[in-house]
Structure 1
Amino acid sequence: MARRHAKHEEEEHENHERWLISYADMITLLMVLFVVMFAISNVDQKKFAALSEGLAAGFGAPRYIVSDGGQAVIDGKGAMIDPVQVSVIAPPVPVPPAQGETALEQASPADAAEAQQAVGDAQAELASLDEIAAEAREALATEGLESRADFRVTEDGLVVVLFADDVFFTSASAELQPTGARVVDALAPVLADSGRPVDAEGHANHLPVRSTSAYPSNWELSAARAASVVRRLIEVDGLDGSRLTAAGYSDTRPLVPPSDPTSIEVNRRVDLLVRSTARPEVRALLPQLAEARRTAAG
């Protein structure tokens, strides 16, 4: 009798491609994540362009729109022009009703109100700094010292530039000369009445100090000159020392480049910075408003 053959059952093979399912799920989730991140980070370009155009119209400046995908600039009439750098913000001027509703009015009311508030605060802060400068000029003129200082407005506030030639300090010295002391004394009441913090900033020209000098470098010399001015304001003129600071910048912040024939005298100076206490977005507008006013005055 023939022996039956045992039934042969093949072993079930393990599926080695199951990882593809998990991999596909992971790729799908990553794609969804990137789409969501892009969606929430995309800036509303139309609202931003409308606000920028409205602010430009309110300041009396021509309206320019940067086209997408390049650096070309299109004016309000659709003509291509070369890119320009805007460095001056003119004072606000009324927009004639015939021009219709401006883009600023179409922008978010909160954004438009915030921008207008910043401009208004900057104009008020500039007027306050101008008043301090006018009082300082008058005080110097009374003493016949009006030519001994210059005034300019920066983002930090009002800078009173005291040219530190031999009238203020002798060469390689930080001791205030009599005329320099008179200038500081004339300015002291104005600085006290302002109620603002005041920084004395010492600067030097590019020439190294002499080997016989008491100061190893222009860093020590510029800092010592600033400290001499602060000490005079406190000990002689009675200003509150908690409102004053002194710092030296050596030759790192020149008014004119070393190649300028006047650099030796002009860059050797002490600046008195009457600080602006406005918020940063307001202070950022101060130099532009001051330049626009200077340009308008001719």
Structure 2
Amino acid sequence: MVTVLMCLFIVLFAMSSVDVAKFEKLKNSLATGFGVENVGKVDTAEGIVLPPELAEEEGEDLTDLELAIQEVDDLEAIKERITAALTKEGLEDTVRFTLDERGLTVRMVSSETFFNPDRAELTAAAQLVLDATAPELRSTTREVTVEGHTAKLPDDRYVLDWELSTARAVNVVRHLVEQGGVESTRMEASGYGESRPLNEGRTEADLKLNRRVDIVVLSDQPESVRSLIPEVVEQRP
């Protein structure tokens, strides 16, 4: 009781002025805590004090599958907003989306559209796509990794492929940070050269598919939840 009284006087002292509304909230909160008065709703910090039986229901943890469904919903919402922004600029056909255990991938396929041959500088088309994508990346708190890839050719020199793919990824990150306002602390750039092709074909269409830059909005869920994302995606129409 002495400790409770001490806390009461500390709270009273912390209140710079006698605010009737604040005092009423404090009174109701203390009354509810001591079981003297049954207050349906007490708001002292933008929260709600619930009866014990409701508090137990609210506190129940979601299953990994339910969390995976929520995560897919969130990532799908990001995809839809990016698609809407690209459609508004007439750029909806310039990227492809994939959703897997890593998160949402915005795939800039066919590097010729976004970079000049064997160059790392962004083309005007690439800048337009990034400008349309940046607001959504800026509004989320998720980490984003940008990954550069090249096509595998018989006369390729591996070091040059790694340098080119990394330079392209870095330039995408730089544009998103400097022009798009995305937090640099959430961005990462990687170059994989020809080591991660989407397919092993040698046709021009296959090579264009492998020449790409992927912007991956990473899932922030634990591995047990992320592993269920492909299953959830597969079951959806």
Q: Which amino acid aligns with 2:98?
A: R
Partner residue, 2:21: none
TM-score (ref. length: structure 1):
0.57
Secondary structure at the counterpart of residue 99 of structure 2: strand
Instruction: Report the CA distance between 1:281 and its aligned residue.
Output: 0.3
Give me the whole-angstrom Cα distance separating, in 2, the residues matched to 1:172 and 1:139.
29
- The match for 2:189 among 227, 234, 246 is 246
Identity of counterpart residues, as a percentage? Answer: 38
- The match for 1:272 among 196, 211, 215 is 215
Aligned alpha-carbon RMSD (Å): 2.0
8 Å contact from structure 2 (residues 111, 213) kept in 1: no
Q: Which amino acid aligns with 1:118?
A: D
Instruction: Report the CA distance between 1:195 and its aligned residue.
Output: 1.6
Please list every run of 5 or more consecutive structure 2 residues that lacks an aligned counterpart in the other structure: 1-59
8 Å contact from structure 1 (residues 255, 267) kept in 2: yes
Instruction: Report the CA distance between 1:261 and its aligned residue.
Output: 4.4
Give me the whole-angstrom Cα distance separating, in 1, the residues matched to 2:159 and 2:194.
14
Partner residue, 2:16: none
Q: 1:179 to 1:261 in 2, by over 3 A?
A: closer
Partner residue, 2:178: 235
Give me the whole-angstrom Cα distance separating, in 1, the residues matched to 2:175 and 2:155.
24
1:1-298, aligned counterparts within 5 Å?
117-207=63-153, 216-293=159-236, 297=237
Show structure 1 runs of 4+ deviating over 3 A: 208-211
Give me the whole-angstrom Cα distance separating, in 2, the residues matched to 1:127 and 1:133.
10
Q: 1:252 to 1:216 in 2, by over 3 A?
A: closer
8 Å contact from structure 1 (residues 204, 222) kept in 2: yes
Give me the whole-angstrom Cα distance separating, in 1, the residues matched to 2:132 and 2:183.
16
8 Å contact from structure 1 (residues 172, 209) kept in 2: no
TM-score (ref. length: structure 2):
0.71
Give me the whole-angstrom Cα distance separating, in 2, the residues matched to 1:216 and 1:227.
16
Secondary structure at the counterpart of residue 239 of structure 1: coil
Secondary structure at the counterpart of residue 113 of structure 2: coil
Provide, for residues 40-65 of structure 1, a one-character-per-residue CA deviation record: whole Å limited to 9, x for no partner.
Answer: xxxxxxxxxxxxxxxxxxxxxxxxxx
Q: What is the aligned residue count?
A: 178
8 Å contact from structure 1 (residues 202, 269) kept in 2: yes
Give me the whole-angstrom Cα distance separating, in 1, the residues matched to 2:105 and 2:116.
23
Q: 1:210 to 1:267 in 2, by over 3 A?
A: closer
Q: Which amino acid aligns with 1:284?
A: S
Q: Which has the higher contact order (CA 8 A, sep 6+)?
A: 2
Q: 1:209 to 1:171 in 2, by over 3 A?
A: farther
Instruction: Report the CA distance between 1:154 and its aligned residue.
Output: 1.4
